[in-house]
Amino acid sequence: MPGLAGVGDRLAAGLLELGITASGAQLSALLEYLSLLQRWNRSFNLTSVRDPQAMVDRHLLDSLALLPFIPETGARLLDVGSGAGLPGVPLASMQPGNSVDVLDSNGKKRRFLFQVTSALSLAIMAVRHARVEGWAP
Protein backbone atom coordinates (compact mmCIF):
# COMPACT_ATOMS: atom_id res chain seq x y z
CA MET A 1 0.00 0.00 0.00
CA PRO A 2 1.81 3.11 -1.16
CA GLY A 3 2.20 5.82 1.47
CA LEU A 4 1.13 3.50 4.27
CA ALA A 5 4.54 2.27 5.44
CA GLY A 6 4.56 1.69 9.19
CA VAL A 7 0.87 2.36 9.76
CA GLY A 8 0.20 -1.29 10.57
CA ASP A 9 2.69 -1.11 13.42
CA ARG A 10 1.17 2.16 14.63
CA LEU A 11 -2.32 0.67 14.49
CA ALA A 12 -1.27 -2.46 16.39
CA ALA A 13 0.49 -0.37 19.05
CA GLY A 14 -2.51 1.95 19.41
CA LEU A 15 -4.91 -0.96 19.80
CA LEU A 16 -2.65 -2.41 22.47
CA GLU A 17 -2.67 0.93 24.30
CA LEU A 18 -6.48 0.91 24.17
CA GLY A 19 -6.63 -2.68 25.40
CA ILE A 20 -8.32 -3.85 22.20
CA THR A 21 -7.54 -7.24 20.67
CA ALA A 22 -7.81 -7.54 16.89
CA SER A 23 -7.46 -10.55 14.63
CA GLY A 24 -5.24 -10.48 11.58
CA ALA A 25 -8.33 -10.21 9.38
CA GLN A 26 -9.61 -7.23 11.37
CA LEU A 27 -6.23 -5.47 11.13
CA SER A 28 -6.16 -6.13 7.39
CA ALA A 29 -9.68 -4.71 6.99
CA LEU A 30 -8.77 -1.55 8.90
CA LEU A 31 -5.62 -1.07 6.83
CA GLU A 32 -7.55 -1.66 3.59
CA TYR A 33 -10.10 0.93 4.71
CA LEU A 34 -7.27 3.38 5.40
CA SER A 35 -5.83 2.69 1.94
CA LEU A 36 -9.22 3.35 0.31
CA LEU A 37 -9.67 6.51 2.37
CA GLN A 38 -6.27 7.81 1.32
CA ARG A 39 -6.90 6.99 -2.36
CA TRP A 40 -10.42 8.49 -2.50
CA ASN A 41 -9.38 11.48 -0.42
CA ARG A 42 -7.25 12.75 -3.31
CA SER A 43 -10.35 13.26 -5.46
CA PHE A 44 -13.22 13.65 -3.02
CA ASN A 45 -11.68 15.51 -0.06
CA LEU A 46 -13.22 13.18 2.51
CA THR A 47 -10.95 14.33 5.35
CA SER A 48 -8.48 17.15 5.94
CA VAL A 49 -6.03 14.68 7.48
CA ARG A 50 -3.56 13.62 4.79
CA ASP A 51 -0.77 11.87 6.72
CA PRO A 52 -1.45 8.12 7.06
CA GLN A 53 0.10 7.97 10.56
CA ALA A 54 -2.20 10.80 11.67
CA MET A 55 -5.15 8.99 10.05
CA VAL A 56 -4.45 5.98 12.26
CA ASP A 57 -4.55 8.12 15.41
CA ARG A 58 -7.24 10.63 14.52
CA HIS A 59 -9.57 8.37 12.59
CA LEU A 60 -9.10 4.68 13.35
CA LEU A 61 -8.01 4.75 16.99
CA ASP A 62 -10.37 7.59 17.92
CA SER A 63 -13.26 5.60 16.41
CA LEU A 64 -12.21 2.35 18.06
CA ALA A 65 -11.93 3.98 21.49
CA LEU A 66 -15.74 3.47 21.61
CA LEU A 67 -15.46 -0.34 21.54
CA PRO A 68 -15.36 -0.91 25.33
CA PHE A 69 -18.74 0.83 25.60
CA ILE A 70 -20.55 -1.19 22.91
CA PRO A 71 -21.79 -4.77 23.34
CA GLU A 72 -19.92 -7.18 21.06
CA THR A 73 -23.11 -8.58 19.53
CA GLY A 74 -26.71 -7.58 19.11
CA ALA A 75 -26.24 -3.79 19.17
CA ARG A 76 -27.79 -1.52 16.55
CA LEU A 77 -25.59 1.48 15.79
CA LEU A 78 -26.32 4.54 13.68
CA ASP A 79 -23.44 6.72 12.53
CA VAL A 80 -25.13 10.07 11.76
CA GLY A 81 -23.26 12.34 9.37
CA SER A 82 -20.80 9.56 8.75
CA GLY A 83 -18.80 11.40 6.10
CA ALA A 84 -15.82 9.16 5.40
CA GLY A 85 -17.36 6.37 7.48
CA LEU A 86 -16.08 7.37 10.89
CA PRO A 87 -16.68 5.80 13.35
CA GLY A 88 -19.07 3.40 11.57
CA VAL A 89 -16.62 1.55 9.30
CA PRO A 90 -13.98 0.82 11.96
CA LEU A 91 -16.68 -0.29 14.42
CA ALA A 92 -18.32 -2.55 11.82
CA SER A 93 -14.91 -4.01 10.96
CA MET A 94 -14.22 -4.88 14.58
CA GLN A 95 -17.70 -6.02 15.66
CA PRO A 96 -19.36 -8.08 12.92
CA GLY A 97 -22.04 -9.20 15.39
CA ASN A 98 -23.57 -5.73 15.48
CA SER A 99 -25.76 -3.92 12.97
CA VAL A 100 -24.17 -0.67 11.82
CA ASP A 101 -25.91 1.88 9.59
CA VAL A 102 -24.03 4.88 8.25
CA LEU A 103 -26.10 7.92 7.36
CA ASP A 104 -24.94 10.84 5.21
CA SER A 105 -26.73 13.20 2.86
CA ASN A 106 -23.66 13.83 0.67
CA GLY A 107 -23.69 11.74 -2.52
CA LYS A 108 -19.92 11.52 -3.02
CA LYS A 109 -19.40 10.33 0.54
CA ARG A 110 -22.17 7.77 0.10
CA ARG A 111 -20.44 6.46 -3.06
CA PHE A 112 -17.22 6.09 -1.11
CA LEU A 113 -19.04 4.21 1.66
CA PHE A 114 -20.61 1.83 -0.87
CA GLN A 115 -17.13 1.12 -2.24
CA VAL A 116 -15.84 0.47 1.29
CA THR A 117 -18.67 -1.95 2.15
CA SER A 118 -18.04 -3.83 -1.09
CA ALA A 119 -14.24 -3.95 -0.77
CA LEU A 120 -14.31 -4.97 2.89
CA SER A 121 -17.35 -7.27 2.59
CA LEU A 122 -19.14 -5.45 5.41
CA ALA A 123 -22.50 -7.11 4.96
CA ILE A 124 -23.72 -5.85 8.31
CA MET A 125 -23.33 -2.20 7.35
CA ALA A 126 -26.11 -0.38 5.55
CA VAL A 127 -25.36 2.91 3.79
CA ARG A 128 -28.23 5.37 4.05
CA HIS A 129 -28.51 8.49 1.89
CA ALA A 130 -30.62 10.87 3.94
CA ARG A 131 -30.60 13.69 6.41
CA VAL A 132 -31.19 12.56 9.97
CA GLU A 133 -34.42 14.60 10.10
CA GLY A 134 -35.88 12.49 7.31
CA TRP A 135 -34.54 9.09 8.35
CA ALA A 136 -36.66 6.45 10.03
CA PRO A 137 -35.35 3.05 11.11
Residue 85 has a pLDDT of: 95
Residue count (the chain): 137
Give CA angle at 126 (27, 112), nearest 5°.
65
pLDDT tens, position by position, 3-46: 566 899 999 999 999 999 999 999 999 999 999 999 999 999 89
pLDDT given for residue 33 in this prediction: 97
Report the first-to-last Cα separation within the chain, whole angstroms.
37
pLDDT on residue 35:
96
Is residue 125's pLDDT more than 90?
no
pTM above threshold 0.95:
no
**pLDDT tens digit string along 70-80?**
999 999 999 99
The mean pLDDT value for 45-49 works out to: 92
Angstrom distance (rounded) from CA 130 to CA 135: 6
Angle at 55 between CA 49 and CA 61, to 5 degrees: 135
72, amino acid identity: E
